[in-house]
Amino acid sequence: MPTDGPALGAGPSRPDPAPLDRDGLTEFEAAVVDVLLATEPGDVLAYGEVAAEAGYPGAARAVGNLLRRIDGLPWWRVVTASGRLIPHHPAEQARRLAGEGVATADGRVVDG
């Protein structure tokens, strides 16, 4: 069913989001979506790395906000610069990363 904008409410609170709806994405959002959808299982990026690869260095916080709003993104592959998992859903993120061969311990990525 088409919508007038991006599907909202994704992020860790909805671990199995609906397919991504690209209609209505801004240039920044589309660039970030492209970076995230290009990640492979086992890839782990920091918020700042996603922003820089999308062409928006310094927009790490905006990447985090986007991950919480748009369905269909592999949110579990994004961590803080220090490797910390998302504080609200670390168990789910760790489970998904483990399924992709990335080890975590003490709320951080230790291999990836």
Q: 52 lies in which domain range? A: 27-80
pLDDT in tens, 45-98: 999 999 999 999 999 999 999 998 887 899 999 999 999 998 888 999 999 999
Rg of the chain on CA atoms, in Å = 13
pLDDT tens-digit readout, 5-36: 444 344 444 444 455 667 789 999 999 999 99
User: Into how many domains does the chain fold?
Assistant: 1
Overall pTM surpassing 0.85 (yes/no): no
Is residue 48 assigned to a domain? yes
Q: Look up the CATH number of the domain holding residue 37.
A: 1.10.10.10
Neighbours of 66 (CB within 10 A): 27
> Is there a domain that residue 39 lies in?
yes
Residue 64 covered by a domain:
yes
What pLDDT does residue 20 have? 67
With CA atoms as reference, report the closest residue to 34 among 7, 66, 4: 66
